[in-house]
Homo-oligomer: A and B are copies of this chain.
Amino acid sequence: MSKDKGGARRFATVPVALGDRSYPIHIGSGLLGWLGGEIARHTKATRAAVVTVPAVGRRYAGRLLPSLREAGLETGQIAVRDGDSHKNLREAARLYDALLDFRADRATVVVALGGGTVGDLAGFAAATFLRGLPFVQIPTTLLAMVDASVGGKVGVNLPRGKNLVGAFYQPRLVGIDIDTLASLPVRERAAGLAEVIKAGLLWDAAFFEQLEGNAENVLRLKPEVLLPTIERACAIKAEIVAEDERESGRRMLLNLGHTLAHAIESLSRYRGILHGEAVAIGMLFAARRSEALGLCPPGVAGRVERLLGRLGLPTDLPPYPRRAYLSALRVDKKRRDARIQFVALRAVGRAETVPLTPAEILPAGE
Contacts and interface: CB of A to CB of B under 8 A. Distances in A.
Nearest to A47: B337
A34 interface: no
Interface in A77-133: 89, 92-93, 96-97, 100, 105-107, 127-132
A17 interface: no
Contacts of A89: 89, 92-93
A358 to B, nearest CB: 14
A40 to B, nearest CB: 16
Interface stretch (A50-58, A160-168, A292-300): A160-168
A336 interface: yes
* Residue from A89, A128, A158 with most neighbouring chain B CB atoms (10 Å): A128
Nearest to A247: B131
A129 B164 contact: yes
A333 interface: yes
Interface string A145-170: 00000000101001011001111100
A335 interface: yes
Nearest to A330: B103
A132 B164 CA distance: 10
Contact of A100 (B46, B93, B131, B161): B161
B96 A165 contact: yes
Interface residues of A, number: 32
Contact of A166 (B105, B128, B161, B164): B128
Contacts of A97: 158, 160
Given A100-B164, A160-B100, A131 B106 contact: no
Interface string A11-34: 000000000000000000000000
A106 B153 contact: no
Nearest to A99: B164
Contacts of A161: 100
B128 A167 contact: yes
Given A129-B165, A130-B164, A336 B107 contact: yes
Contacts of A165: 96, 128-129
Given A89-B89, A158-B100, A337-B46, A153 B167 contact: no
B131 A155 contact: yes
18 contacts: A46-B337, A89-B89, A89-B92, A89-B93, A93-B158, A96-B165, A97-B160, A100-B160, A100-B161, A105-B333, A105-B337, A107-B336, A128-B128, A128-B155, A128-B167, A129-B165, A130-B164, A131-B167
Given A131-B167, A132-B167, 14 more contacts: A46-B337, A89-B93, A96-B158, A96-B164, A100-B158, A100-B160, A100-B161, A100-B164, A106-B334, A128-B165, A129-B165, A130-B333, A131-B166, A132-B246
